Structure 1
Amino acid sequence: MAPSKDRQRKLARAKFDRQMARRAVRERRRRRMLAGAGIAVAVVLVAVGGAWIGGAFDSDEKTTTEAADTCLWSPLNKSDNPEKTDVGTPPTKNLPTTGTESMTISTNQGAPIAVSLDVASAPCAAASFTHLAGKKFYDNTDCHEILSIGAVHCGDPSGTNNGGPLYSFYDENAPVTPDPAPSASAAAKPAVLYPKGTVTLIGNPAGSNGSQFLIFFKDYAPTTDAPYSIAGKVTGGLDTLAKIGKITTVADDAGDKVKPSQKITITSLTVGADAAATAAPSVSAQS
């Protein structure tokens, strides 16, 4: 007999998990190698710096310094990731690293949701959202899951949890779970790390981010380490977010009760000046 859709989906998820785990191991190895190279370079720089102070490199010629990479984007193989889309990669240099940026998510559920992206704490997340918004990657895509932790899951055009661009990047702004006070009882409630309105990235495995994101419509206090990096927070359209949070769920193809019973469609997602212009008429009414 041909395998059922349920089995096909579970096998696909298992295969994807194995692929991502292998890639995570390779990336950790690459980071260790880069760290070792960085130490060696630092030693060389100290020696060169001493020689420079001594005037060994004095010259009338002007020198230029190339800008350092702000973000690194790990490429993915299309053959291993058939549900991902090649939309290029964001720049690596000269990216904003301070302040905030406006993002507007327009849906079929009401007034636009305005988001303030935390550029200072998550510059690569902001750069990725900006790049993908410019490619209209999110337009006319469905938020395919409502999770029991109190968040709506968006940003995967395939609706399989495997979709996204052909690149990934690591966490930048994951909250730290506070250590319990010495006098705290075992029954003490965990801290709320993701307040209502928090916008996070979600990767599979954790720390391998792409286009997928969560918007929390209620407070979430994880009982283990914080699993998601924070990209920003909702600043307008809270009524729309509350409406989405009330949508009931039904079983998806894998039997998990996470599929919205009615479509939640992102009609457009914009960042920057376009986002501010789109949100301006409705933010005050929905804040």
Structure 2
Amino acid sequence: MKRLLAVPAVLTLALSLAACGDDEPSTGSDGADGVACTYNETGDAAREVDLPPGEATATDKVEVVITTTNGDLRATLNGDTTPCTVNSFLSLAEQGFYDDTPCPRITTTPGFEVLQCGDPSGTTAGGPGYQYEDELSGGETYPAGTLAMANSGPDTQGSQFFIVYGDTQLRPDYTVFGTVDEADLSVIEEIAQDGDDGTNPAGGGAPNTPIGLVSITTD
């Protein structure tokens, strides 16, 4: 997660993804039924999946259930404002990319409270083998309940995402593609009370009480 505002330190997600290769990207063309998206292969996938469709058809609100080892998180995805991000997220979910994977990082500093998931390797360095562009307005904010994409710099989105469980001040560098129901944030808050192991040099670390993704399904 690139420059996720420094409270004790810069919260940086080292995705360790290669630069875009020569493989043909997945693309689509704008039309009445969807929005064109481009996904560029990078290799080194943490879990092998196909590229998302080159046309995003989920261009409205989408309800999903993020089932974790510690309870369900109901979320609404913003297909209307971030169609290519939602298209990728749903594609990965449908292919089982997120199934049975750990959430390897939590930060517990007040004002800097996020849970990071979406890397099957459990290292915060893995991705889906492709990257794609940010979908930013420049006015992004990150209150509690925000569901946003991690990145390692501009236009390097892949599979990793973070859930904000306490109002957090970040630069508007991270695509906000949904919200988690406020009532369900208690699942994460309980994990946060047990702290983290402090092993991530950019801040936070693995939750002392482990939490992982079981599945992500449309509701």
TM-score higher than 0.5:
yes
Q: Smaller-chain TM-score range?
A: 0.7 to 0.9
2:106 match: secondary structure: strand
| Structural RMSD (CA) | 2.9
**CA separation of 1:68 and 1:253: change in aligned 2, threshold 3 A:** closer
1:89 to 38, 48, 51: 51
**CA separation of 1:166 and 1:239: change in aligned 2, threshold 3 A:** same
Work out whether residues 194 and 207 of structure 2, in 8 Å CA contact, stay in contact via their aligned partners in 1: yes
Counterpart residue number, 2:94 = 134
Work out whether residues 88 and 166 of structure 1, in 8 Å CA contact, stay in contact via their aligned partners in 2: no
d(CA) in 2 for partners of 1:93 and 1:135? 17
In terms of Rg, which structure is larger? 1
Q: How big is the shift at 1:164?
A: 1.6
d(CA) in 2 for partners of 1:116 and 1:210? 19
Q: How big is the shift at 1:16?
A: 3.1
- The count of residues paired between Structure 1 and Structure 2 equals 195
| Residue 116 (1) aligns with residue 76 (2) | yes
Q: Deviations over 1:129-165 (max 9, x none)?
A: 1111111111110100002420000001112222121
* TM-score of the superposed pair, with normalisation by structure 1: 0.60
Counterpart residue number, 2:198 = 251
**CA separation of 1:70 and 1:243: change in aligned 2, threshold 3 A:** same
d(CA) in 1 for partners of 2:39 and 2:64? 21
**Percent of aligned positions with the same letter in both sequences?**
28
| Structure 2 unaligned residues grouped into runs of 5+ | 1-12, 23-30
| Structure 1 unaligned residues grouped into runs of 5+ | 1-12, 27-64, 178-192, 277-287
| Residue 269 (1) aligns with residue 216 (2) | yes
2:116 to 153, 167, 173: 153
Superposition pairs for residues 225-244 of structure 1, below 5 Å? 225-235=171-181, 236-244=183-191
- Structure holding more strand per residue: 2
Counterpart residue number, 2:151 = 203
**CA separation of 1:69 and 1:15: change in aligned 2, threshold 3 A:** closer
* TM-score of the superposed pair, with normalisation by structure 2: 0.78
2:55 match: secondary structure: coil
